[in-house]
Amino acid sequence: MIGLKGTLNVSYYPRPYEMGLTDSGQVIDNSGALLVECVNVLKQKVNNGWGGVGDEIVCVVKRARPVSAATQATSTAVKVRKGDVRRAVIVRTKKAVRRPDGRLVRFDDNAAVLLNNKRDMLGTRIGGVVSADLRMKGWGKIVSLAPKVCESHKRFLVLS
């Protein structure tokens, strides 16, 4: 890309985090939302609006499960509708994250779990793989409910 004075402006810059403003991600809990769009990354002054695994974000629900009139009257009704503004925690990112043992871990998509105002999970189940880095960042309940966790430290036996 050429700038105003003919200098070369590089539009790509390396970023350590993947989910930023206007990035979308799947919701992997049973709260009723299917797709969310990030509008703010909370408490990240250093990373200029980019969030990684375990970071809390403010998001807008872009797509939700349809709710019938019969199920709307029950107490177990879906609590999330399209257009709702909610908080969420990032559980997977497309951007590769380097682990302390040198491995790179990356997922196929961005994913999040919705939270209520008390920072508790909105849903009761999780339906996908989550990163083990959540446990180190204080989200142990999400890790315990997940059916599969991408572990961070595995010991390998080296035969020589």
Q: pLDDT digit string (tens) for 10-65? A: 334 444 446 777 788 999 999 999 999 999 888 766 667 788 899 999 999 999 99
* Within-domain flag for 75: yes
* Within-domain flag for 2: no
* Within-domain flag for 131: yes
Q: What is the pLDDT of residues 115-145, one digit of tens each?
A: 998 999 999 999 999 998 899 889 999 999 9
Say which amino acid occupies 33. A
Structural domains of the chain, count: 1
Mean pLDDT of 63-79: 71
* Within-domain flag for 100: yes
Q: What angle do CA 54, 57, 58 make, to 5 degrees?
A: 160
Per-residue model confidence (pLDDT) at position 21:
73
* Within-domain flag for 18: no
* Within-domain flag for 113: yes
pLDDT value at 8 more than 70 = no
DSSP strands (E only) in the chain:
24-27, 33-41, 56-64, 85-92, 97-98, 104-105, 111-115, 129-131, 148-150
CATH number of the domain that residue 54 is part of: 2.40.150.20
Q: How many helices (H) and strands (E) does the chain have?
A: 3, 9
Per-residue model confidence (pLDDT) at position 139:
93
* Within-domain flag for 160: no
Q: Which of 124, 137, 118, 111 is nearest to 76 (CA)?
A: 124
Cβ contacts of 112 within 8 Å, gap of 6 or more = 19, 25, 26, 27, 28, 36, 57, 59, 88, 89, 90, 91
Per-residue model confidence (pLDDT) at position 45:
65
Per-residue model confidence (pLDDT) at position 74:
65
Of residues 8 and 33, which shows the higher confidence score? 33
Mean pLDDT of 100-111: 87
Per-residue model confidence (pLDDT) at position 59:
93
Alpha carbon distances (Å) from 76 to 61, 67, 80 = 19, 11, 12
Per-residue model confidence (pLDDT) at position 96:
87
* Within-domain flag for 99: yes
* Structural domain range at position 72: 24-150
